[in-house]
Chain A
Amino acid sequence: DAGVIQSPRHEVTEMGQEVTLRCKPISGHDYLFWYRQTMMRGLELLIYFNNNVPIDDSGMPEDRFSAKMPNASFSTLKIQPSEPRDSAVYFCASRLGQGAGGYTFGSGTRLTVV
Chain B
Amino acid sequence: QKEVEQNSGPLSVPEGAIASLNCTYSDRGSQSFFWYRQYSGKSPELIMSIYSNGDKEDGRFTAQLNKASQYVSLLIRDSQPSDSATYLCAVKANAGGTSYGKLTFGQGTILTVHP
Contacts and interface: CB of A to CB of B under 8 A. Distances in A.
Which applies to chain B's interface (DSSP): helix, strand, loop or mixed? loop
A79 B38 CA distance: 26
Contacts of A107: 42-43
Contacts, number: 51
Interface residues of B, number: 24
Which applies to chain A's interface (DSSP): helix, strand, loop or mixed? strand
A12 interface: no
Contact of A105 (B43, B100, B102): B43
A31 B103 contact: no
Interface of A: 31, 33, 35, 42-43, 45, 48, 50, 55-56, 91, 95, 98, 100-108
- Which 10 pairs of residues, A with B, have the shortest CB-CB distance? A105-B43, A43-B105, A102-B46, A42-B107, A102-B34, A105-B44, A108-B43, A107-B43, A56-B99, A100-B32
